[in-house]
Structure formats: C-alpha cells, structure tokens
Amino acid sequence: MTDYDPELFFANQTINNACATQAILSILLNRADDIDLGEELSNMRSFTQGLPSKEKGNTIGTSEKIRTAHNSFTR
C-alpha cells in the first residue's frame, strides 16, 4: 500500500504471527491525541513518522519491549 494519509500510522506486517499485535499498535498509534501512549510507543511513533510502511513494520519487529509483550500472551 502506498497511497494513504501520511498522518495515519500504517505498518506492513513483516513478522509472522503478529497480526493482533500489529492491529492493536495501529489503533493505539492512530489515536495518539486521545491516548497516553507512554514513552516507548511515543518514541516509536515519532521515530517512524515519514518512514515507508514496510520500515514501520520492521521497526515494530525490532522493538524488544513490543516483542516481550507480544510473547507474554503465548500459551
């Protein structure tokens, strides 16, 4: 996807089995004016502003805190 509002946080899923985490992050990061994102997500949102969607997805995949939170929900 290349044509979307640049203010909208959109990240391509670049890691397997992360659909729900990716969806939740997109919702949160697109509601940054209404939600206190905390330091980690605020920094991610700022860092990825202006990056292509694939690079945003890669950034999610390299975040240790997001990976730890994601993996905490495994059986």
- Read off the pLDDT of residues 31-74 as tens digits, 9 standing for 90 and up: 998 999 999 999 999 999 989 889 999 999 899 999 898 888 87
Q: Considering the domain boundaries, does residue 48 fall inside one?
A: yes
Tokens of 33: 């004016």
- Tell me what pLDDT residue 27 has: 94
Q: Considering the domain boundaries, does residue 14 fall inside one?
A: no
What is the distance between the alpha carbons of residues 61 and 17, in angstroms, rounded to a whole number? 11
Q: Considering the domain boundaries, does residue 7 fall inside one?
A: no
DSSP 56: H
Entry pTM: 0.81
CA of residue 16 relative to chain centroid, distance:
14
Which residues are CB-neighbours of 50 under 8 A, at least 6 positions away? 6
Q: Considering the domain boundaries, does residue 64 fall inside one?
A: yes
Q: Considering the domain boundaries, does residue 25 fall inside one?
A: yes
DSSP 66: H
Report the number of distinct structural domains present in the chain.
Answer: 1
Residue range(s) defining the domain that contains residue 51: 19-71
